[in-house]
Amino acid sequence: MDMLGTADPRNVHYIMSANFQNFQKGPEFKKIFDILGDGLINADFDLWKNQRKIAITLLTHQRFHKFLVKTSWDRVNNGLVPFLEFMANEGKIFDLQDVFLRFAFDTTCILVTGFDPGSLSVELNNIAFLKAMNDAGEAVAVRHLLPQSVWKLQQWLGIGPENKLRKAREIIDLQIGKYLLMKRDELRAKRENLKEQEEEGVDLLTLYMNDEGETKTGIKFDDKFLRDTILTFMFGGRDTTSSGLTWFIWLVVRHPEIEKKIREELKAIIPVGEGEKMRLFKADEVKNAIYLHAALCESLRLYPPIPFERKTPREPDILPSGHRVHPKMRVVFLLYTMGRMESIWGKDASEFKPERWISERGTVKHEPSYKFFSFNAGPRTCIGKEVAFTQMKVAVAAVIHNYHVEIVKEDDPHKSQHGSGSEEVRVSCLSIALLNDGANLEKEKGNDTIDIEDSQFTIELDIRYIWDQNARFANRKQYD
Ligand code: HEM
């Protein structure tokens, strides 16, 4: 229980940047996140430094950037939008948080491994890998709240979240093992087509498997390293992006004047003469959408997907706030609190106000990371920030431009965060109905006349929309 909680930007700057060397994630953090093995999020010192160097080189590789642009568009066009289209046409109410979680899960998995787990479809199927990731995330969250002896006991007895985590780990390891085998086969087959490959965008796993970082850094890219790396990126990118998307839509829907401004900005991007039809936006088109970017930052300020972080001092130290810390102590940063403090953001700190991110010249205002701490600060700043913004912009532009989202059932999400479990939050936060703006819908039920051996029958039509991976929708008329 020896813990210091801080929401002071001076302390953040000191620990995360100025005296970075004296503050580590530490062995306790590694135990809590043991499922990530020696992956980047878990590592400290040289192991962390070398891994980070490689990860940044590959994430900023031109071929990964191509793949990111292509995948962000593809998952919106062939995953999110067909789902929303179906729900809008059917007038169905659904849980948007679950949909964004599946969207981010599929997108992140494709970006990292090149393979699509296919969790976002009209049926919202149960996918073992998705469930395993959810269970693992939940168990890790619970570990932060309990003394180690308690969750270790649960582990030993095989009960509670620890039991779920054990099973989840088996499924995750099996799935990643399959991906590694599939990728090796794929690369072997592609080797004959090297020229074509040069032109293509590629996933991170392909880049890791082809990289010479192994010899330069001394890190061996064996199956254990690749497994830890895949899982680290999936953990780092999935829940964060989906949480960011969900809170963003929740905030925008509750602020129609802001929604209108985003729509106007998006409309201005569309070339004159394109008309009023359904329109999706490519990453390059929304890259410089200032107001949209500002609104996303504002939403991430108020609802940081990672609401707290922790560090452990290596040597006793005195923080700029005057507090003494020592190696047996945990320093906990309260990101959620920092996003709402008047001393940091001014009197209107609790308001959703994208304008605060726009300078007088109309550009995005830079806020130092020890103040806008949602992506961490200093040498351990999130390396997926650009990946996240690219995905989020393409996704929310598609939703806001083409649909009207309505919250039809709303419990207080702040209240339910203190409830008994994450499922409660997930279910209660967002139940929404989608109405397709002015779409000319085919009738779902109706009458038709057909000839059967010269006799005429009038029959009832029941048109079902069948999900199809390749064609967006196949309309099947079923005669009963
Ligand atoms: C809105 C989206 C995101 C937010 C708010 C976010 C936030 C953060 C934060 C706060 C950390 C520091 C965590 C810690 O040190 O304990 C972090 C680290 C990290 N993030 Fe993100 N992240 C986002 C998206 C992503 C994505 C899409 C990826 C992967 C493509 C990613 C990969 C990572 C990795 C690998 C680290 C560890 C970096 C290191 O320790 O050197 N993140 N992120």
Map the chain to HEC letters.
CCEEEECCHHHHHHHHHHCHHHEECHHHHHHHCHHHCCCCCCCCHHHHHHHHHHHHHHHCCHHHHHHHHHHHHHHHHHHHHHHHHHHHHHCCEEEHHHHHHHHHHHHHHHHHHCCCCCCCCCCCCCCHHHHHHHHHHHHHHHHHHCCHHHHHHHHHHCCHHHHHHHHHHHHHHHHHHHHHHHHHHHHHHHHHHHHHHHHCCCCHHHHHHHCCHHHHHCCCCCHHHHHHHHHHHHHHHHHHHHHHHHHHHHHHHCCHHHHHHHHHHHHHHCCCCCCCCCCCCCHHHHCCCHHHHHHHHHHHHHCCCCCEEEEEECCCEECCCCCEECCCCEEEEEHHHHCCCHHHHCCCCCCCCHHHHECCCCCECCCCCCCCCCCCCHHHCCCCHHHHHHHHHHHHHHHHHHEEEEEEECCCHHHHCCCCCHHHHHHHHCEEEEEECCCCCCCCEEEEEEEECCEEEEEEEEEEEEECCCCCEEEEEEEC
pLDDT score of 416: 44
Distance 380 CA to ligand 1 centre (A): 9
Helix axes 160-190, 148-157, angle to 10 degrees: 80
The 10s digit of each residue's pLDDT in 413-450 is 555 443 333 322 222 222 233 333 333 333 344 444 44
Candidate from 240, 241, 309, 370 with most ligand 1 atoms within 8 A of CB, to mutate: 240
Distance 397 CA to ligand 1 centre (A): 23
Is the pLDDT higher at 275 or at 121? 121
**Predicted structure pTM score:** 0.85
Instruction: Show the ligand 1 pocket: residues with CB < 6 angstroms.
Output: 40-41, 52, 232-233, 236-237, 240-241, 244, 300, 305-306, 309, 374-376, 380, 382-384, 387-388
Distance 306 CA to ligand 1 centre (A): 9
* Nearest of 266, 262, 234 to residue 248 by alpha carbon: 262
| Phi then psi dihedrals of residue 107, to 5 deg | -60, -45
How far apart are the C-alpha atoms of 371 and 12, rounded to whole Å?
A: 8
Question: Is 109 marked as binding a ligand?
Answer: no
Distance 317 CA to ligand 1 centre (A): 27
Sole residue written with tokens 């996918």: 127
pLDDT score of 144: 87
* Nearest of 453, 451, 446 to residue 475 by alpha carbon: 446
CB of 25 within 8 A of CB of 311?
Answer: yes
How far apart are the C-alpha atoms of 323 and 306, rounded to whole Å?
A: 24
pLDDT value at 197 more than 70:
no
ipTM above 0.95, yes or no: yes
pLDDT value at 150 more than 50:
yes
The 10s digit of each residue's pLDDT in 251-268 is 999 999 999 999 999 999
Residues 6 or more apart in contact with residue 112 via CB below 8 angstroms: 203, 204, 205, 230, 233, 234, 237
Sole residue written with tokens 């945990």: 330
How far apart are the C-alpha atoms of 415 and 400, rounded to whole Å?
A: 27
Mean pLDDT of all residues in 82-98: 92
CA atoms within 13 A of residue 243's CA, in its CB half-sphere:
18
pLDDT score of 415: 54
| Phi then psi dihedrals of residue 92, to 5 deg | -90, 150
CB of 211 within 8 A of CB of 394?
Answer: no
Burial (CB count within 10 angstroms: exposed 0-12, middle 13-18, buried 19+), residue 362: exposed
pLDDT score of 403: 93
Q: What percent of the chain has pLDDT over 90?
A: 70
